[in-house]
Structure 1
Amino acid sequence: MPETEPVESAPQNPSGVQSPSDGQSTPVVPSPASTVSPAAAQGAAALAIRGLVKRFGDKVAVGGIDLDVPTGSFYGLVGPNGAGKTTTLSMATGLLRPDAGQIWLHGVDVWQNLVEAKRLVGVLSDGVRLFDRLTGEQLVTYSGLLTGMDRATVDERVSDLLALLDLESAGGTLVVDYSAGMTKKIALACAMVHAPKVLVLDEPFESVDPVSAANIRDILKSYVGSGGTVIVSSHAMDLVQRMCDHVAVIAAGRVLAAGTVDEVRGGSTLEDRFVELVGGRHHAEGPEWLRIS
């Protein structure tokens, strides 16, 4: 299996990842491929990925990712635009077939047992169209029935979720008429209705107002506290630092660092560490004509 490539030369300490700027080792979780066998990872991780590759024509979107997401963790996936986050999550949840590699959800090989794997995961995909000519209540009900639950159970859960997400008054409104924030919340309800073991959320707080975002965070923390696992892809570093207990930094389709938030960020903020790892920051005042005084 391919190993996660270090940012610089391979460190002597296998539990470190080299910083591109200072060459110092920052303690992170060891590269999964080099320290954990796939069989062990299946039992220990909610999500285990080995050697994941995806190409679109000549472009390599994901270039051999290895990653373990511990069961019961609140895991953040961060990276610049085009880093491969959404592609990775799409393959991990059975939405996009990989060119190479293996993925397990709680020990179930996703692409060998796709139906079984999909029962274990709830997905909120950024930008994916919903059946928006249904009402909110109808959409969540439809999502629940697709999983094979009986109608009485679905009805009870739909009622609970609409109340939990402050959508009771909008339950009879067509989703096409929802605001962006309401659409995000109803999509989250669809992802949660079958009580999955893993929630995979791509930019779940984008376009969501602060009050709704706070309520969603409380719901997700309660879900993790009860034994569930949440994987969040986000550009909001401060949000990830406050909300997540584990994080992986991805750029150019590879994992640059992974571990607990404290391990990855070291003594700095997650945002500073992210910029240090990814690079590309320009210290400039801008053109003279843009300066007002």
Structure 2
Amino acid sequence: MDETGEPVISIRSLAMNYGDKPVLRWINLDVFKGQIIGYIGPNGAGKSTTVKILLGLIQGYIGEVKILGRDISDGDVEYKRRIGYVPEVADIYESLTAQEYLTFIAQLYGMNYSKANHKAEQLMISFGLESVYSSRVSSFSKGMKQKVLLISSLIHNPDILFLDEPLSGLDANSVIVVKEILACLAAQGKTIFYSSHMMDVVEKISNRIVLLNDGQIIADGSFHQLQEKSKEGSLEQIFNELTGFHDHKEKAEQFVSIVQEV
């Protein structure tokens, strides 16, 4: 992790409205090579909007966004070849086999079929899915589909990886493997932008945590820096403290009391 070089992602005075509603409020953020950024916040805080802007999926924002040194507003989409993305809800082509889907995605990134097919098959083997490489994705479990999505985001060896709830549906052993994969990628200089509501996972895998609330960055630092600043123990407690969410116990007790009504 090198914070002395040029940022791989640079955001300056980023603002975005949906109609009259401000979603992002003048965000400034630099992300560097080899960082695993835990990008967290309550629902509606602006996390997904930020990522979609960075991916070039949303226009109409105010401010400057540079990825790999280039302003993404210039219309050149070449930078997208160096990006991988796992969305929270993905429209995976379930009528295709895993082989057809992965080679199709790889070819979109500019890989030739032979290389894509070999690499996809090897990655499926690594995930223990060699027996279903030629099977239709529609027959896969949620966890198997998630592994295919992870492979599709990495098959072209991107420099920046955007992950939105990437561990969804994975069994405990697979979660451990994926965490280790992310650590290995970061050690090799890859940058990972990781968004999740699973605070314990974010706490363990991120070397930097950015907390967004109401469209603004309200905390930015390592877990230990955030811990010292807020005087709280876990990331979940820090999150609740900084976002002003204090009535979770009361809400839970109220819910259970209704469930137990005779």
**TM-score in terms of structure 2 length:** 0.89
- Helix, strand or coil at the partner of 1:45: coil
Which residue matches 1:70? Answer: 32
- Structure 1 residue 216: deviation in Å? 1.1
Residues 186-205 of structure 1 aligned to structure 2 (within 5 Å): 186-205=148-167
Which residue matches 1:265? Answer: 227
CA distance in 2, matches of 1:264, 1:144: 39
Which residue matches 1:281? Answer: 246
Matched letter for residue 55 of structure 1: N
Which residue matches 1:182? Answer: 144
- Helix, strand or coil at the partner of 2:8: strand
Q: Does 1:123 pair with 2:114?
A: no
Which residue matches 1:86? Answer: 48
Contact 2:12 2:63 in 1 (8 A): yes
Matched letter for residue 115 of structure 2: T
Matched letter for residue 277 of structure 1: L
Greater mean deviation of Cα atoms: 67-76 or 278-287: 278-287
Which residue matches 1:99? Answer: 61
- Report the identity percentage: 31
Residues 1-293 of structure 1 aligned to structure 2 (within 5 Å): 44-266=6-228, 267=231, 268-282=233-247, 283-284=249-250, 285-286=253-254, 289-290=257-258
Contact 2:209 2:223 in 1 (8 A): yes
- Helix, strand or coil at the partner of 2:174: helix
- Structure 1 residue 244: deviation in Å? 0.8
What is the number of residues matched between the two proteins? Answer: 253
- Structure 1 residue 215: deviation in Å? 1.4
Matched letter for residue 106 of structure 2: G
CA distance in 2, matches of 1:227, 1:170: 32
Contact 2:121 2:133 in 1 (8 A): no
**TM-score in terms of structure 1 length:** 0.80
Contact 1:42 1:107 in 2 (8 A): no
Contact 1:165 1:216 in 2 (8 A): no
**Unaligned stretches of 5+ residues in structure 2:** none
Question: Per the alignment, do residues 214 and 288 of structure 1 end up closer, same or farther by CA in structure 2, a change over 3 Å counting?
Answer: closer
- Structure 1 residue 204: deviation in Å? 0.4
Question: Per the alignment, do residues 152 and 48 of structure 1 end up closer, same or farther by CA in structure 2, a change over 3 Å counting?
Answer: same
Which residue matches 1:13? Answer: none
Q: CA RMSD in A?
A: 2.2
Matched letter for residue 155 of structure 1: N
CA distance in 1, matches of 2:20, 2:112: 46
CA distance in 2, matches of 1:133, 1:221: 33
CA distance in 1, matches of 2:257, 2:152: 50
CA distance in 1, matches of 2:212, 2:257: 36
Contact 2:102 2:152 in 1 (8 A): yes
Deviations 1:91-116 (A, max 9, x none): 11112224212212221222325422
- Structure 1 residue 200: deviation in Å? 0.5
Question: Per the alignment, do residues 287 and 55 of structure 1 end up closer, same or farther by CA in structure 2, a change over 3 Å counting?
Answer: closer
Question: Per the alignment, do residues 288 and 138 of structure 1 end up closer, same or farther by CA in structure 2, a change over 3 Å counting?
Answer: closer
CA distance in 1, matches of 2:256, 2:212: 35
